[in-house]
Structure 1
Amino acid sequence: MHKLSIPSLALAAVAALSAGLAHADQLADIKQRGSLVCGTLGIAEPFSFPNPQTREIQGYDVDFCAALAKSLGVKLEVKMVAVPARIPELQQGRVDVLAANLGWTPERAQEIAFSDGYYVSLTKVATRRVDGYKKPADLSGKRVAAAKGSTSEAGARKVIPNVTTVTYQDPPAVFLALQQGKADGIAVSELVLVKWQKEVQATAPIDILEPELFSEPWGIGVRKSEPAMLKQVNEVLESMEKSGEATRIFDRWLGTGTTYDMRRGFKIEPIKG
């Protein structure tokens, strides 16, 4: 059997250690590359969606990605990801972080690390006005559509008795299912529903039912093996909260004068599991 000499063994150990450190230091890799790859949905206005003129992806989530990239002194590269592919894309290293309407759940927290919550979402049910539903429980035994892999699907099953959930690739497909009569109701973020409600008010009005199914904090997703990246993200978020930048981003996309006309009722803080 071939034996390695002591110097050879030492060199092999140093090489292995160096390779491990290089792989583990994501922040150094990003700085060397010169770009931060941020995964976003790209079709979820106002969080990430195409600018009508430039077609570049913009929105609430993108602004937070941009702030993180700026803190690292690199350019931002936005990569669109589908809802069910979000976590695999992160785990497989195709994106550095996720800012993709990613609600915290105990199951997801087993797979990836979550930053402090930078947004709090209310998930509600909407129905066609002509159907006369008043509250989510009225959809007992009915069909409710949600985005595949979303917490909305699980929330509908948990809250609405005997509901049948049907899933689609993304929120626009979910809404189309309601319009075409393929679903009796849809479970989506309140913000998305508010926008849709205004758009179809004159032609095919919808009702947003109360109470909400649930509220959920959204975090920026980071691989569990990257504690330095998680620390960097949380430090940036904390700085944005203190400086007022986080509030300005909210007001830009969701506040008074926007389609949503909302007030920020939360602060960036650790997610309590």
Structure 2
Amino acid sequence: MKKTASILIAGACLALLANLAQADQLADIKARGTFVCGTLGTAEPFSFSNAQTREVEGYDVDFCKALAKSLGVKLELKLISVAARIPELQQGRVDAVIANLGWSAERAEQIAFSNQYFASEQKVAARKDSGFTSLKDLAGKRVSAVKGSSSEMLVRKMIPGATTITFQDPPNAFLAMQQGKAEGFAVSELNLVKFRQQSESTVPIVMLEPSLMLEPWGIGMRKEETAFVKQVNSTLESMEKSGEAQQIFNKWLGTGTSYKMQRGFKIEPIKG
């Protein structure tokens, strides 16, 4: 009986300590008075530098701002690369990552994901003069992508024998395809819309079918921060109900923008 009681007491103590640890992360952010949000700064219209104001703004940045407001603290943006998103989070240099972070089973083993706040069609483009019309045409060919991105992983998975050539940002990966250093370029459809508009008078491109996948994007957090994850999801749900999430979409991606997109998703748990 004494042994059983000791085990129960020890278990209760561990549970209490776990709860305190979970609460501490949320309390630390509030005590610090600052929410450190990791974002890219190079991915228009999600997070990019405004040429006039020189401030970083965009769809992802507005979600960073909304979370800071819900926590009652100031926002500190930390610009990170695509490949550094998970390492920066795991090493505690940022509180959360809102940076075009697509859900995958591999990533979900390393970090916690919030409910989806965006859903991205991942596609591959080629030069129009290449004659390519479908993904299968790129079998065994070179495809450029951003290093550490979902697009890079999907090319390896979906296109037999394709070789990925990686770059630090989408513009350089796109330029490689334009210059013939790669036969294809993999990125979100959203980016491709912009690149197609920019290149129409120089090197026209075509989007190949089918898509690599429809990728849900989530806010990345450390797995042990369960209280913080709950807070973030609660904020996202409130933004969906109030219409704030729709307003942010309309502002950066809607019919009044150059992207002219309709919001075909809602904030909801990611089905892994």
- TM-score where L is the length of structure 1: 0.91
User: What 5-or-longer segments of structure 1 have no aligned partner?
Assistant: 1-16
Q: Work out whether residues 122 and 216 of structure 1, in 8 Å CA contact, stay in contact via their aligned partners in 2.
A: yes
Secondary structure of residue in 2 paired with 1:100: coil
Letter in 1 for 2:84: A
CA RMSD of aligned residues (A): 1.5
- Residue matched to 2:68: 69
Letter in 2 for 1:205: P
In structure 2, distance between residues paired with 1:36 and 1:247: 23
In structure 1, distance between residues paired with 2:22 and 2:271: 30
- Residue matched to 1:133: 132
| Cα distance, 1:179 vs structure 2 | 1.8
User: What 5-or-longer segments of structure 2 have no aligned partner?
Assistant: 1-15
In structure 1, distance between residues paired with 2:216 and 2:145: 18
Secondary structure of residue in 1 paired with 2:219: strand
| Cα distance, 1:123 vs structure 2 | 0.5
Secondary structure of residue in 1 paired with 2:84: helix
Query: Aligned residues, how many?
Result: 256
In structure 2, distance between residues paired with 1:23 and 1:118: 23
Listed as ranges, the matches of 1:1-273 within 5 Å are: 21=20, 25-273=24-272
- Residue matched to 2:8: none
Q: Work out whether residues 127 and 208 of structure 1, in 8 Å CA contact, stay in contact via their aligned partners in 2.
A: yes
- Can you list the C-alpha shifts for 1:173-224, whole angstroms capped at 9, x where unaligned? 2112112211000110000000000011111111111221111100000101
In structure 2, distance between residues paired with 1:196 and 1:188: 11
In structure 1, distance between residues paired with 2:205 and 2:46: 22
- TM-score where L is the length of structure 2: 0.91
Q: Work out whether residues 40 and 80 of structure 2, in 8 Å CA contact, stay in contact via their aligned partners in 1.
A: yes
Q: Work out whether residues 96 and 220 of structure 2, in 8 Å CA contact, stay in contact via their aligned partners in 1.
A: yes
**Cα distance 1:72–1:199, how it changes in 2: closer, same or farther (>3 A)?**
same
| Cα distance, 1:22 vs structure 2 | 7.0
- Can you list the C-alpha shifts for 1:112-154, whole angstroms capped at 9, x where unaligned? 0000000001100011111111011111111001111111112
- Residue matched to 2:4: none
Secondary structure of residue in 2 paired with 1:195: helix
- Can you list the C-alpha shifts for 1:33-84, whole angstroms capped at 9, x where unaligned? 1111100011000100011211111001111110000001111111111011
Q: Work out whether residues 140 and 161 of structure 1, in 8 Å CA contact, stay in contact via their aligned partners in 2.
A: yes
| Cα distance, 1:23 vs structure 2 | 8.7
Q: Work out whether residues 135 and 209 of structure 1, in 8 Å CA contact, stay in contact via their aligned partners in 2.
A: yes
